[in-house]
Structure 1
Amino acid sequence: FFQNIVGVLPGVNDEVKGEEEDRINILVLGMRGANIPGGGLLADTIMVASVKPQENKVAMISIPRDFYVDNPALGTKSKINAVYAYGEQKNVGQGLEDMKKVVSDVTGLEIHYGTVINFKGFSDLVNAVGGVDLTLDKPFSEPLQFNEAHVCDPNVFTVPTGEYEYKKNEKGKVVAQYPLCTNPRVECGGEFNLPAGKQTLNGEKALCYVRARVTSSDFDRARRQQLVIQQIKEKALAVGTLTDFEKINDIIDSLGNNAQTDMQLWEMKRMFELYRGMNNPQMSQKVLENSTEGLLYNPPADRYEGAGYILLPIGDNYDKIREMAQNIFASTGQSQAAAQPQ
């Protein structure tokens, strides 16, 4: 069962955090999972869901994994996808709190609650609502990611390719080489493909769809993640799950340790009541990216030596991101993620 769902149920008139201000902000994290090799606690999904019940509005803001931030557990900078992992290394439960602090600092929003779901939990959730329905304008293909070679390790990438990754110094001289290996347990069939047209994805296929990024980009992946979350909601409404808290509770119970939240049971029930009272809410979406109109940029490689590919905020401060987050509900219409699921 979800962690921290304990205690006596307060009265039905009690409000959740953010309800009085009519903006409830929930951090959603998706990752491979604890005790699973291959970066199990590195976040693949970092998303803020904001709900304004009185105005009948919902917003989603996705943050890319390569965003370079101050990491509380390290006392130095790292990619944001590593904040949870380093926090958990210090103390169980610290990872979520650290991520909430960092995302709050980036967006300027108070993050009231946090939820973590691993790959298995996501797959089980999709199956619990009967799959997700998608219509693709063109075929979708990810031929590289699930066959991708990485530096060999003793747990996951163990089959040598005979190729090497080279490290060079500032003069371009090779100073080290690392053998590359593939994963003998091929995920998503190795080459993941979806045809054009209408289709229903089961949990396994939906997971592959929201993980794929190498052939497209991490930004496109974030849009697909937002789309699939919307479709899970639509399917849950269609089968009556989102109108029956007992059904929701049964799904939560079935997820076991594959999902965690810092919400208490009464807060989850109150959120259910608030959302049920909303009528086809207006949806606003944003993916932080480094496009021409984006709010991030990729700095020169020598600025943070050894950091790899990273993203920084335009102006080297969070002002524009915070302005966007504060005013996201002023945007109208569907985002590209909702309009073009491909």
Structure 2
Amino acid sequence: MKSMRKRYYHFNHRDSIHKVEPVSSAQLEKGKRARPKRSLVKFILLVLLLVFLVMISYVAYSSISAANNVLSDNIKISDIFNKSTLKQTDGVTNILLLGKGGDNHSGGQLTDTILLARVRQSDKKIALISIPRDLLVQIPHDGKAKINEAYANGWNDEKNKDKKADAGAKLASQTVESVVGVSIHYYVTVDFVGFKELVDELGGVTVYVDRDINDPYYPKDTVTANGGFQESTGYSPFYLKAGRQVLNGSTALKYARSRETTSDFDRAKRQQKLLLAIKEKTLSLGILANPVKLSEIINTLGSHIKTNMNIAEMKELVNLIKEADQNQVINKVIDNNPQDGLLVSENDGSYYLVPKAGSFIEVQKLVKNIFETTTVETAEIEVFNGSGVSGLANQFAQDLKEKGFNVTKIETNKDIVAKSVVYDGANNSSASSYIKSCLKGAEIKSGQEGIIKIILGKDYVGS
């Protein structure tokens, strides 16, 4: 009897009669081996997809957990994908930036840094306006006091004990609104620890130091290894050389705080520089597009920074400021400069600053028209440093820029000269008049039409 063998067939559809052809045992074995391979590949892809989804979920959860320490209102995952319209008035978004000492610092809720950032949405222009802490104002429900007390008053109010930071920022916002005459749409508060940690997370920031800083009375305070602040008695002298400097968190904090050998107004200018340096470093590292790194930074900052912006509003604001030209940023410090300051000082046992006009009408006019009054005239100003002292040309040029003048060149002169010289090609202009008032002993010569060339000599010691 012949042995019986199983035979397998397949249909060949190319044949019109659909012949049934036998399948060899080799082909059969090959098919058997192929199926598990395909299944294994599918399994691996499925596992990788699950791992990816878990990672995304973890990053989202971590980001939200960290963000809820910073935001005044808790958020959900869906908030990340929501679209939002950034608040604005007449096309301008106003953000109040408040810096304070924080926990373990005497007067830790006094906001010695008060800075209004105005962002015009149509052309992405930014204006930074610093308000001095000693300005005498009317704080709602609390009477007259220095403006830096407004946040502390809201924070310390017993009825606000569940939302101290939000209450403090709201009262500070209301107080600042009465001074500047525009609505405050958002606030951001940061303490010493938060500022130091932020700069360190960015790997340091680069600033140009206009002049040597030598402060023998800088307080002997430290940010501890566990992220706390420790206030100590005595001094820790702070010295920083003029020129381009890369600052770590501790040095940046000292650069922002030091004032004993300069002034609050100089300190305000340095704080604006640091803010712009932080913006540039953040954008250059692509951190805002890196959710993992962003989550790490927010988690590090923790309770040291607070804001009332939601995630969607932050995203929209970032898209605006990353397109802003840093060279076009308008910097203004409201001060008591004898030439064009809007404030005057008073001392009746305590030192105060009050508006020169008797009300804040001139301050409000400045703030409201900040984008329209930035260029006083078209005269091009070139500043050359022939004094032999590093940083003087940058310092002088920065002062001119803050007054709205058009500085087009800052360079070191090829020779050191004894006396300052002004080559005036824009005589009778406001720029020419202002420069001559600053350099009273300078030699005045005629210059190329439309250009004012300044050579700072050894006789110029800085403002």
User: Which of 217, 221, 224 is the matching residue for 2:267?
Assistant: 221
Residues 180-259 of structure 1 aligned to structure 2 (within 5 Å): 184-186=232-234, 190-244=236-290, 247-259=293-305
CA distance in 2, matches of 1:194, 1:89: 37
Establish whether residue 146 from structure 1 lines up as the match of residue 219 from structure 2: yes
1:244-263 superposed Cα distances (whole Å, 9 cap, x missing partner): 46644442232100000111
> Does the CA-based 8 Å contact 1:73-1:98 persist in structure 2?
no
User: Which of 314, 320, 341 is the matching residue for 1:268?
Assistant: 314
| Map of 1:297 onto structure 2 | 344
User: Which of 366, 370, 391 is the matching residue for 1:324?
Assistant: 366
Equivalent position amino acid for 1:62 in 2: S
Identify which range, 257-266 or 270-279, moves more after superposition: 270-279
TM-score by length of 2: 0.60
- Compute the displacement of 1:11 (Å): 6.5
- Compute the displacement of 1:12 (Å): 5.2
| Map of 1:53 onto structure 2 | 121
Equivalent position amino acid for 2:146 in 1: K
> Does the CA-based 8 Å contact 1:242-1:276 persist in structure 2?
no
> Does the CA-based 8 Å contact 2:128-2:272 persist in structure 1?
yes
Equivalent position amino acid for 1:265 in 2: I
Change over 3 Å in CA distance of 1:59–1:5 after alignment to 2: farther
Identify which range, 330-339 or 93-102, moves more after superposition: 330-339
Question: Matched residue of 1:110: which SS?
Answer: coil
Change over 3 Å in CA distance of 1:231–1:193 after alignment to 2: same
Stretches of structure 1 that go unaligned for 5 or more consecutive residues are 149-155, 157-182
TM-score by length of 1: 0.79
Equivalent position amino acid for 1:27 in 2: L
User: Which of 65, 76, 86 is the matching residue for 1:16?
Assistant: 86
- Compute the displacement of 1:218 (Å): 0.4
Question: Matched residue of 1:77: which SS?
Answer: strand
CA distance in 1, matches of 2:122, 2:301: 31
Establish whether residue 129 from structure 1 lines up as the match of residue 176 from structure 2: no
CA distance in 1, matches of 2:187, 2:109: 15
- Considering Cα pairs closer than 8 Å and 6+ residues apart, tell me whether 1 or 2 has the greater RCO: 1
1:283-332 superposed Cα distances (whole Å, 9 cap, x missing partner): 00110111121111113x34xxx5x0000012211110001001111204
- Compute the displacement of 1:186 (Å): 4.7
CA distance in 2, matches of 1:2, 1:290: 35
- Compute the displacement of 1:120 (Å): 0.3
- Compute the displacement of 1:53 (Å): 2.7
- Compute the displacement of 1:211 (Å): 0.3
Equivalent position amino acid for 2:168 in 1: G
> Does the CA-based 8 Å contact 1:73-1:83 persist in structure 2?
no
> Does the CA-based 8 Å contact 2:189-2:305 persist in structure 1?
yes
> Does the CA-based 8 Å contact 2:118-2:127 persist in structure 1?
yes
Change over 3 Å in CA distance of 1:142–1:48 after alignment to 2: same
- Compute the displacement of 1:99 (Å): 0.6
- Compute the displacement of 1:219 (Å): 0.5
Equivalent position amino acid for 1:61 in 2: I
| Map of 1:67 onto structure 2 | 135
Show structure 1 runs of 4+ deviating over 6 A.
337-340
- Compute the displacement of 1:117 (Å): 0.2
- Compute the displacement of 1:138 (Å): 3.6
> Does the CA-based 8 Å contact 2:342-2:357 persist in structure 1?
no
Change over 3 Å in CA distance of 1:54–1:243 after alignment to 2: farther
Change over 3 Å in CA distance of 1:275–1:37 after alignment to 2: closer
Stretches of structure 2 that go unaligned for 5 or more consecutive residues are 1-68, 222-228, 377-396, 411-462
| Map of 2:152 onto structure 1 | 85
| Map of 1:106 onto structure 2 | 179
> Does the CA-based 8 Å contact 2:276-2:326 persist in structure 1?
no
1:124-153 superposed Cα distances (whole Å, 9 cap, x missing partner): 1111111111233542111124279xxxxx
Change over 3 Å in CA distance of 1:193–1:277 after alignment to 2: closer
Change over 3 Å in CA distance of 1:83–1:241 after alignment to 2: same
Bigger Rg, which one: 2
CA distance in 1, matches of 2:220, 2:196: 21
User: Which of 70, 74, 87 is the matching residue for 1:2?
Assistant: 70
Equivalent position amino acid for 1:311 in 2: L
Question: Matched residue of 2:272: which SS?
Answer: helix
- Compute the displacement of 1:282 (Å): 2.1
Equivalent position amino acid for 1:70 in 2: Q
Change over 3 Å in CA distance of 1:10–1:191 after alignment to 2: closer
CA distance in 1, matches of 2:75, 2:153: 27
Identify which range, 105-114 or 230-239, moves more after superposition: 230-239
Number of paired residues?
A: 300
> Does the CA-based 8 Å contact 2:207-2:273 persist in structure 1?
no
Question: Matched residue of 1:328: which SS?
Answer: coil
> Does the CA-based 8 Å contact 1:71-1:102 persist in structure 2?
yes
Equivalent position amino acid for 2:351 in 1: Y
- Compute the displacement of 1:32 (Å): 0.5
